[in-house]
Structure 1
Amino acid sequence: MLFVTGGSPATVYALTPLATEARNAGHEVLVASNAETMEAVTGAGLPGVCVSDVPIRHHIYHDRAGTPLVMPEDPDLAIRAIGHAFGRMAAAYQEPLLELARCWRPDVVVGGTLHYSAAVLAARIGVPFVRHSWDSGEPLVVDEAAAVEMRPELDALGLAGIPGTALWVDVCPPSVRDPEALQGTSMRWIPCNLQPPLEPWMYSKGSAPRVGVTAGTKTAPGYFFDYLVQLAVALKKLDAEILVSAPPAVAGQLSEATGMRVGWLPFDTVARTCDLLVHHAGGGTALTGMVYGIPQLVVPNMPKLVAPSQRLAAYGAARVILPGDDTPEALADAAGDLLANDHYRERARDLAEEANAMPAPQEVLGLIEKLV
C-alpha cells in the first residue's frame, strides 16, 4: 500500500492510523510525501519516501515558472487558489511517484484529500485508488481548480479529468458533514502527532479551566504568527489556564510576544485535559475536539474553513468568529460563554459519541483489501 500525502504535518497525521493499521496487519507500506513532512512520517514509525523538496507554501505563492503570486482577497477566488496550489504540487509529484512505482509497485494507492497525484498514479499503473479525507470537508471547487491547473498533465496522459476513486474514506462525523459532499465510507478519527516525553502537567490539570490554543503545525513568522499572538493575548483575561501550542522553531518568539509559555504540545494527550479549544479551524484540531467531546471556539484563518466551522457551530458544539469580528473583546466573551454554558459541553459530548462509534481503521482496511 502506497500512501501519498504532504503539505503540512497535519496531512501526515490524518493518514497515520490507517497506514499503521495496514503495517500491523502485515501489509507492506510506504508513505510518499515531501521534505517538509518527512519528520512527521518517520516520527510515526512509518517508512517514508521523499518525492519533492518543494514546500506547499511555494506552490501557494508561486506559479510553475516561479513567478510570485498574491493570495486573492475575494474568498471564492482564495479557495480556488488553494486548488491550483495543490494542482501544482500534484504536477511536481507525478514523475517521482511513477519512478517510485517502477521500483516498488503498489497494489493500491491511498491519497490524502487534495493529493491528486495519487489518483493519477493509480490510473497510470492500473491499481485501485482510495481517497482519504483529512478534515471536515473541502469545497468541491478546490477539485475543479486543481483539474484546471493539471490540464497539461491530464491531457498528456489522455485523461478527461482527475481519475475517480474506488473508495472514499471520510473521517468527519456525519452530523457535521457537508450535505452536498460525496457519500463515503466512515472511519473514526484518531488523533496523531509527534510525541515528546510526557510531563505530568500534560495529562493532568488543576482546578482552573484549561484552554488549548493553536494555529496549527505551519505557524511561522509571516504565516499565522500574528494571528496566534492575537488569540492567545485575547484570552489572558479569562480565569483559566492557557496552553499555547506551536512549532518548536517559533515557540521562543511566540512566548516573548505573548508573555506566555508556548511550546509543541502532544495534542492527542493535552487536548483530553482541556475544557475548551481555541483555534484556526484546522481540520485535525477540530476533529480532535469532536472525538474528545470538547467545546471549540473557531476563528477560521482561511476562507475554505468557514463552512465546516459553521456546521460545527450549528450543531451546538462550537462558536465561530469570522475574520474582522475577532476583536480581543469578542474572543474573550465567546470563550467565557463556551466555558460557562453547559449546552456546548452537552452537544460536544453528543458529537463525540457519534464520532467514536464510527468504524475503526481495521474495518476500513478490510474494505481496501477486498478492492485488491
Structure 2
Amino acid sequence: MKILFTVGGSQAAVFGVAPLAAAARNAGHEILLAADEPLMAAAQSVGLPAVCITPERMRYGQDALTAAGRIDALLELTALWSPDLVVGGLSHVPRVLAAKLKVPYIRHIWHIAPMARRDATAVAELAPQLQRLGLTELPPPDLFIDLCPPPLRPPGAPAARAMRWVPRVSQRRVEPWMYTRPEGRRRALITAGTRNLLLDTSAGSLRPLVQELTGAGVEVLIAALPEAAERYAAELGEVRIGWIPLDVVAPTCDLAVHHGGATTAMTLLNAGVPQLIVPDNGYGKAVAEAISGYGAAVMVDRHRPQGQDPQAAVVAGCLEILGDPRYAQRARAVAAQAATLPTPDEVLREIEALTAP
C-alpha cells in the first residue's frame, strides 16, 4: 500500500505523525510525507522521506488563503506518486485531495483543544475549491485517530480511535546525565520547544525562577537553541542549558515549565511529569487549561495575571507543584491510562482494512 502523510504548521505535526508513518514503513508499505519547506529538517531528523509542497509554513485556520496552491501542489505530487490512502492533520486540504483521488482519508491529530467551530469554518471556506475540482461534497474521514488521552479530550469531541502517544523528536548523541536522575536532588526542565529562544522571555526575568529552584535544591535544565545558550548561560548560573532530548530527559524530571506546545506537553505527560505552563498563544492556553483542569499542571496566563506579577506566579506555581504530590499523582495517572491505548502498529491494522479488497 502507498500512504501519503501530509503535515503543515509546526514541527510538532511532523513528530506527531512520525510513529504511525514509521509503523507503516516497517510493515512494508510505501510512504511519503508532504510538508512545508520549514518542516523538511524535522522530517529528515526522524527519518521520514519528505517532499516539499510549499515554501512557507502553513498556519491552521488559513486554509482559505493557501488552499488552491496546496491542493495544486498535492495533485502534482500524486500525479507522479499515486497513493492508496491519505493521512492529514489539522488542515482539511488533504481531505479535499483524498476526495478528488477517491481514496480513503484519515485524520490524525491531538484533539485536546475544542475545534468544532474552527473546523466548520475551514470546511465552509473550502467550498470554492470543491467546486473547482468538480466535487459536490467533502466526505467525513474514514478514520479519525486521536493522540489525546481520553481524560483530556474536550467536551463534545467527536468519536475517535485513540492511539498511544509515542515520543519522537530530533536526536543527537546523548550523555549519561540526560537519562539518569541526579542523586539526592529533584530536577526541573524549562523549555519553549523549537520556536523561541527562551520561554518567550529574557534571561533576566528567568533568573528569579532559576534562583528559587536551585535554592530549593532542585537541578535546573533549560532546553534552548544554541544562540540562547551562548547568550544566557553565564547569566543564569548553575544550570545546564542547550540542546536537551526531551523524550530522554522527561522520565528523570519532577517538574517541567513550558509554553504549551503539543510535543512538549504530551511527551511530558507520557512520562508522568507535572507541568507549569505559560501559554504563548490560544492553542497553548487550551492545552494548559486541559492539563491543569485535570490536576496535572498549573497554568500562568501572562495576559491575565489576576493581581499577581507573572514572574512571581511562575515561581509560586513551581514551588506549589514541587510541594504538593497530588500534581505528580495526577500526571502519572494520565501516563498510566495512555500506556493502555493501542500502539501505532495496532492502529495500522485498522488502516490496512480500509483498502482491503
Q: Which residue of 1 aligns with 2:319?
A: 336
- Determine if contact 1:5/1:32 at 8 Å carries over to the other structure: yes
Does the CA contact (< 8 Å) of 1:32 and 1:49 recur in 2? yes
CA distance in 2, matches of 1:300, 1:191: 21
Counterpart residue type for residue 262 of structure 2: G
Superposed, 1:45-60 pairs within 5 Å as 45-56=47-58
Partner secondary structure for residue 225 of structure 1: coil
1:83 aligns with 2:61: yes
2:188 maps to 1:211: yes
In terms of Rg, which structure is larger?
2
State the Cα distance separating 1:246 from its structure 2 match.
Answer: 2.7
**1:342 CA drift (Å):** 1.0
CA deviation profile, 1:45-85 (whole Å, cap 9, x unmatched):
111111111124xx5xxxxxxxxxxxxxxxxxxxxxx512x
**Counterpart residue identity of residue 94, structure 2:** A
1:241-296 Cα distance to aligned partner (Å, 9 max, x none):
22111334544345467565432211110111111111111111111122111111
1:76 alignment partner in structure 2: none
| Contact 1:139 1:304 (8 Å CA) reproduced | no
Q: What does residue 76 of structure 2 align with?
A: 99
The Cα shift of 1:370 comes to 0.4
- The answer to whether the 8 A contact 2:203-2:235 is kept is no
Counterpart position of 2:212:
237
* 2:151 corresponding residue in structure 1: 175
What is the alpha-carbon distance in structure 1 between the residues aligned to residue 234 and residue 36 of structure 2? Answer: 31
CA RMSD of aligned residues (A): 2.3
> TM-score, normalised to structure 1's length?
0.85
Q: Distance in 1 between matches of 2:139 and 2:42?
A: 28
1:252 aligns with 2:230: yes
Alpha-carbon deviation of 1:352? 0.8
Distance 1:155 1:231, change over 3 A: farther
Alignment of 1:32 with 2:7, yes or no, is no
State whether residues 189 and 256 of structure 2, in contact with CA within 8 Å, keep that contact through their aligned partners in structure 1: yes
In structure 1, C-alpha distance between the alignment counterparts of 2:320 and 2:266, rounded to whole Å: 21
Equivalent residues of 1:192, 1:268 under 8 A apart? yes
> Which stretch shifts more, 119-128 or 303-312?
303-312
Gaps in structure 2 of 5+ consecutive residues: none
Q: Which of these residues, 239, 243, 256, is aligned with residue 277 of structure 1?
A: 256
Match among 320, 331, 337 for residue 348 of structure 1 = 331
Residue of 63, 88, 91 corresponding to 1:111: 88
Q: Once the 2 structures are TM-superposed, how far is the Cα of residue 310 of structure 1 from its aligned partner?
A: 1.8
The amino acid of 2:12's aligned partner reads: A
The number of equivalent residue pairs is 344
Counterpart Cα distance in 2 of 1:25 and 1:101: 22
In the alignment, which of 9, 22, 43 is matched to residue 7 of structure 1? 9
* 2:242 matched residue in structure 1: 263
**Counterparts of 1:122 and 1:371, CA distance in 2:** 13
Cα drift, residue 148 of structure 1? 4.8
- 1:161, CA displacement in angstroms? 6.1
Residue identity matched to 1:93:
R
Distance 1:216 1:161 in 2: 38
